[in-house]
């Protein structure tokens, strides 16, 4: 074989060749030679590699570089090319000395894998595992497993490889299980998965929990029930049901699906029923019930389709069947197949009847009708002490008394009153009413008798049972029995029983029953309706002795005594009530007591009535801070009416005055209006001036002060006191912002138009401008919502708002000086706001202020006024005093004159004077 001239060393190669001749075993020289000929054809480099490896067969560097170039050479060639065979031979030569090098093995194995040489590749993998140490097997197994997962690899080969790998590293069992599932090897996959779950030391490298692996096993067993054998599927899934409570519904349906796949339909129904009767959550119940209903529906559809198909076959085979004799034995026909023979033998047998559609329909309807009962059972399994769910269960069986009685019996046996959610006594009552509605009163009494012996959580529950029992007796006209029941219920336990219970340490509610207010209230109602007065009074007295009475019971007891004309005894009961209770509970007793007393005795026992009212008012004042303030007003009005009707008018006014100080701020205006109206009616309009002044200075809210000032000015105007009315308007102007309260300024404007002059009108306009400027400065930095109508801020309010907003103290002080009313500065001549109030006796202010009440229109009298003729010629116009000035006295004057005429005609004496009221006595004293 001739060698090509290209392979011979060139002139440039002589230098490397001479050095190699001197030292042929130098790796450095060979490597420099290869680097220098990097651009030469591979054939020439091939010769250099072969020469170098012949001299240095143990050089990993040379072998690795040589094999890399060999791989690059066949990179784009088909696997059938002869170069692959050369490459494999080269790898085999390299492995003679490089068999401990894993990188060489990996390159060789990857090359064989790409060539699809299954047998050779498998054997090479085995050689590599034998040649390399165990610490380097991971690198080989990774490629090995990738090789056996390729398509076309015999499944048995893959299984053997995986089994060997699991002996090397058992932690990758999940990969093997995944491979088995992908390969549809369900039997071994289930066995391997079961062994993993049974291994307590197993740790999933993929992060799967035991719960997830268990669900995968259940799905595998149920979906491939016919392919998997040798495992107790029922026990496995039931173990999961006991262990994993959050997937109970899914596991029950999986177990039922397993039996459905194996055509064991009745067993599947049993599983569904067992699941519905054991789950404790509505979600699991819904999953099982929906799966059960879907199963029954699918079975029904399949059965109906099979019926249609079998009917067609019977029509086709009808002629053939007619050919057989009726008495012919089909077992003797050897031409029939096993399926046909079975069909003919079992034809018409009721247990093998295919036409059982009606039975399936009945099953479906029965299942749907049972859903409310089954769902209720689930809720009761969650909490068997839920009273409301037991009531709903009874309602489900409405129309079936037997079921209802059994349900009530189970309920009262199951529920523990101390753990009950709801009111357990209602079950006993409803149980008894069930018998009562069916006219079985004797058994209803038995139920009630057992119910009152139960130790309930609260006394009120036991009292309710006694009351219901008594009401049942009343419905059946057994009045004597109802009273006897109440006497039994309210009887106090003996000392021996109390001592025995105290020794046990567990006190039942029956010991406290005799103090149940509900029971005593019902008992006293029965006594009032059915008993005598003495028995009823005994019951009321017993209630008071037990200290369980309420204000309503006190009032009822007193009304009972009044109905039977025991007035003094009724008042004694009221007295006991006001001593027992405090404010505000005693309010109703006082109001009722006082009204009844006044109505009964009137003015005959006036001093005693006053003493009662004083006591009530004193009680109010003592507890005013604790009691609701709205309870004060009715008491004062009642007291004042007593004095007006039977007592002294001055005492009535004193009561009204005291009431205005006791009522809350939001009712002071209404109380002052009542006070003013009564004073005007009794003593005349001028008497109300002091009340108006008192109201304005009493600390009413600004809005109410303005209202009171307007009414006061109207009074002064009606009396002709124009200057006083104007002064009141000036005082009230500081509470009326012209921008939001135009009604006040319009009324002042009308007043000045009617009664003023040019100077007073200008003064009003000046005050209006001053007030407007004052409010503008006050609201300059305040929020906009505070400038709305009827929300006027004083300087103190503004300071509080600014303080909460975080404004420094020095800025607030400057603002306060800016907003201070000009009236406080006596040296300012333009001051227009009057902070003080002009009392009734003041006519004008000092020269420093504005004259608001002085008459500016002075009348000039003539210098010579001594002549009598001139005095005679002067005519002074007279004006009648308004009738309202005298109040009710003017109206009663005529009546009193008529009464005197009647007394003079018919005779009168001291007895007549003793019957006179407060107003009449005042009138006579004034006339006298």
Go through 18-50 and write b for each residue having 16 or more CB atoms within 10 A of its CB, e for each that does not: ebbeeeeeeeebbeebbeebeebeeebbbbbbe
For 575-598, the pLDDT digits (tens) are 777 777 777 667 677 777 777 777
Q: Record the tokens describing residue 621, joined without a space.
A: 């004042």
Least confident of 116-130, 592-606, 636-650, 851-865: 851-865
Token look-up 């004597």 returns 480
Report the alpha-carbon distance of residue 565 to residue 497 in Å, rounded: 42
Say what percent of the chain tops pLDDT 90: 11
Q: What pairs with residue 386 in β-bridges?
A: 421
Per-residue pLDDT band for 309 (boundaries 50, 70, 90) equals: low
Render 15-49 in DSSP notation, one character per residue.
HHHHHHHH-TT-HHHHHHHHHHTTTS-HHHHHHHH
Looking at residue 487, the DSSP 8-state letter turns out to be: H
For residue 720, is the peptide bond before it cis, meaning its omega torsion is within 30 degrees of 0?
A: no
Per-residue pLDDT band for 889 (boundaries 50, 70, 90) equals: very low
pLDDT over 50 (residue 715): yes
Report the alpha-carbon distance of residue 721 to residue 710 in Å, rounded: 14
Say what percent of the chain tops pLDDT 70: 71
Least confident of 183-187, 311-315, 387-391: 311-315
Among residues 630, 547, 626, 563, the alpha carbon closest in space to that of 596 is found at: 563
The sign of the CA dihedral 360, 362, 367, 368 is positive
Report the alpha-carbon distance of residue 129 to residue 64 in Å, rounded: 20
pLDDT computed for residue 206 by the predictor: 80
pLDDT computed for residue 314 by the predictor: 55
Go through 603-619 and write b for each residue having 16 or more CB atoms within 10 A of its CB, e for each that does not: eeebeebbebbeebbeb
Report the alpha-carbon distance of residue 569 to residue 549 in Å, rounded: 17
Token look-up 């109970």 returns 248
Cβ 442 vs Cβ 436: under 8 Å: no
Per-residue pLDDT band for 907 (boundaries 50, 70, 90) equals: very low
**In the chain, domain spans:** 582-669, 701-800
Per-residue pLDDT band for 615 (boundaries 50, 70, 90) equals: low
For 312-323, the pLDDT digits (tens) are 555 555 544 444
- Between residues 878 and 83, the one the model is more confident about: 83
pLDDT over 70 (residue 375): yes
pLDDT computed for residue 568 by the predictor: 83
Q: Provide the mean pLDDT of the chain.
A: 75
Q: Would you give the distance in Å from CA 124 to the centre of its chain?
A: 72
Task: Please give the average per-residue pLDDT across 509-524, as a whole number.
Answer: 86
For 645-662, the pLDDT digits (tens) are 676 777 777 777 767 777
pLDDT over 50 (residue 180): yes
The count of other CB atoms within 10 Å of the CB of residue 404 is: 19
pTM: 0.58
Task: Please give the average per-residue pLDDT across 207-223, as a whole number.
Answer: 82
Report the alpha-carbon distance of residue 590 to residue 574 in Å, rounded: 8
Q: Would you give the distance in Å from CA 531 to the centre of its chain?
A: 49
E strand map for 701-830: none
- DSSP element (H, E) containing 742: helix 742-755
The values of phi and psi at residue 725, to 5°, are -65, -40
Query: What is the 3-state composition of the chain as percent helix, strand, coil, each rounded to the nearest 5?
Result: 70, 0, 30
Cβ 92 vs Cβ 67: under 8 Å: no
pLDDT computed for residue 903 by the predictor: 43
Per-residue pLDDT band for 465 (boundaries 50, 70, 90) equals: very high
Report the alpha-carbon distance of residue 440 to residue 448 in Å, rounded: 13
The count of other CB atoms within 10 Å of the CB of residue 917 is: 16
Least confident of 72-81, 188-197, 376-385, 628-637: 628-637
Report the alpha-carbon distance of residue 603 to residue 914 in Å, rounded: 11
Looking at residue 733, the DSSP 8-state letter turns out to be: G
pLDDT computed for residue 326 by the predictor: 45
Looking at residue 862, the DSSP 8-state letter turns out to be: P
């Amino acid at each position: 074989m001739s060698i090509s001239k290209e392979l011979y060393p060139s002139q440039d190669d002589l230098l490397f060749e001479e050095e190699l001749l001197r030292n042929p075993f130098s790796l450095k020289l060979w490597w420099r030679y290869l680097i220098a000929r990097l651009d030469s054809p591979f054939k020439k480099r091939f010769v250099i590699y072969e020469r170098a490896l012949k001299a240095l067969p143990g050089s990993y560097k040379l072998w690795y570089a040589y094999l890399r170039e060999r791989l690059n050479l066949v990179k784009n060639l088909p696997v059938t090319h002869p170069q692959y065979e050369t490459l494999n031979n080269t790898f085999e030569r390299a492995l003679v000395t490089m068999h401990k090098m894993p990188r060489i093995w990996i390159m060789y194995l990857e090359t064989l894998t790409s060539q699809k040489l299954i047998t050779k590749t498998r054997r090479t993998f085995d050689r590599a595992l034998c040649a390399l140490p165990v610490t380097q097997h991971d690198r080989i197994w990774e490629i090995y497993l990738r090789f056996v997962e390729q398509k076309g690899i015999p499944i048995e080969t893959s299984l053997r490889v995986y089994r060997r790998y699991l002996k090397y590293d058992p932690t990758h069992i999940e990969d093997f299980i995944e491979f088995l599932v992908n390969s549809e090897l369900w039997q071994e996959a289930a066995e391997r998965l079961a062994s993993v779950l049974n291994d307590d030391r197993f740790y999933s490298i993929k992060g799967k929990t035991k719960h997830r692996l268990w669900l995968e096993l259940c799905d595998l067993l149920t979906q491939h029930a016919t392919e998997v054998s040798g495992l107790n599927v029922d026990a496995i899934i039931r173990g999961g049901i006991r262990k994993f409570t959050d997937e109970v519904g899914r596991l029950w349906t999986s177990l039922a699906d397993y039996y459905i796949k194996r055509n064991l339909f009745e067993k599947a129904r049993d599983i569904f029923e067992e699941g519905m009767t054991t789950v404790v959550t509505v979600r699991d119940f819904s999953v099982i019930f929906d799966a059960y209903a879907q199963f029954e529906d699918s079975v029904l559809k399949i059965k109906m389709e099979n019926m249609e198909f079998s009917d067609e076959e019977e029509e086709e085979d009808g002629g053939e069947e007619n050919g057989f004799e009726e008495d012919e034995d089909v077992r003797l026909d050897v031409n029939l197949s096993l399926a046909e023979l079975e069909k003919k033998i079992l034809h018409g047998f009721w247990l093998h009847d295919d036409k059982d559609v009606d039975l399936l329909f009945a099953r479906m309807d029965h299942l749907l009708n049972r859903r409310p009962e089954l769902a209720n059972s689930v809720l009761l399994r969650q909490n068997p002490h839920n009273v409301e769910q037991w009531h709903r269960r009874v309602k489900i069986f409405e129309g079936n008394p037997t079921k209802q009685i059994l349900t009530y019996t189970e309920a009262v046996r199951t529920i523990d009153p101390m753990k009950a959610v709801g009111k357990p006594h209602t079950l006993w009552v409803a149980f008894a009413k069930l018998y009562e509605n069916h006219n079985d009163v004797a058994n209803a009494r038995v139920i009630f008798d057992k119910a009152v012996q139960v130790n309930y959580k609260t006394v009120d529950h036991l009292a309710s049972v006694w009351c219901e029992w008594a009401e049942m007796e009343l419905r059946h006209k057994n009045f004597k029995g109802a009273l006897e029941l109440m006497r039994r219920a309210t009887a106090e336990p003996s000392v021996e029983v109390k001592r025995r219970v105290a020794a046990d340490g567990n006190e039942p509610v029956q010991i406290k029953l005799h103090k149940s207010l509900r029971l005593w209230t019902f008992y006293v109602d029965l006594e009032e309706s059915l008993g005598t007065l003495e028995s009823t009074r005994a019951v009321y007295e017993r209630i008071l002795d037990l200290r369980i009475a309420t204000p309503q019971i006190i009032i009822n007891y007193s009304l009972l005594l009044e109905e039977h004309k025991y007035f003094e005894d009724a008042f004694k009961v009221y007295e006991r009530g006001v001593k027992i209770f405090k404010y505000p509970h005693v309010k109703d007793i006082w109001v009722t007591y006082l009204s009844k007393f006044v109505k009964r005795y009137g003015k005959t026992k006036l001093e005693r009535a006053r003493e009662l009212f004083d006591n009530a008012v004193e009680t109010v004042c003592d507890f005013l801070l604790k009691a609701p303030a709205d309870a004060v007003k009715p008491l004062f009005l009642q007291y004042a009416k007593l004095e007006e009707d039977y007592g002294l008018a001055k005492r009535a006014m004193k009561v009204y005055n005291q009431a205005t100080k006791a009522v809350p701020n939001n009712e002071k205006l209404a109380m002052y209006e009542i006070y003013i109206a009564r004073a005007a009616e009794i003593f005349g309009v001028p008497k109300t001036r002091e009340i108006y002044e008192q109201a304005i200075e009493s600390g009413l809210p600004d809005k109410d002060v303005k209202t009171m000032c307007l009414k006061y000015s109207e009074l002064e105007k009606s009396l002709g006191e124009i200057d006083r009315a104007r002064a009141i308007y000036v005082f009230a102007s500081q509470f009326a912002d012209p921008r939001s309260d135009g009604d006040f300024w319009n009324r002042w404007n009308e007043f000045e138009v009617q009664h003023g002059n040019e100077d007073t009108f200008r003064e009003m306009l000046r005050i209006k401008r001053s007030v407007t400027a004052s409010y503008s400065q006050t609201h300059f930095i305040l929020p906009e919502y505070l400038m709305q109508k009827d929300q006027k801020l004083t300087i103190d309010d503004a300071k509080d708002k600014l303080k909460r907003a975080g404004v420094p103290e020095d800025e607030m002080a400057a603002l306060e000086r800016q907003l201070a009313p000009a009236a406080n500065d006596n040296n300012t001549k333009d001051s227009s706001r009057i902070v003080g109030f002009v009392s009734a006796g003041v006519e004008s202010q000092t020269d420093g202020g504005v004259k608001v009440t002085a008459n500016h229109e002075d009348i000039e009298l003539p210098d010579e006024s001594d002549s009598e003729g001139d005095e005679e010629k002067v005519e002074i116009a007279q004006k009648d005093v308004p009738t309202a000035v005298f109040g009710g006295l003017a109206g009663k004057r005529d009546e009193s004159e008529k009464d005197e005429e009647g007394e003079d005609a018919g005779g009168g004496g001291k007895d007549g004077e003793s019957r006179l009221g407060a107003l009449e006595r005042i009138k006579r004293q004034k006339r006298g």
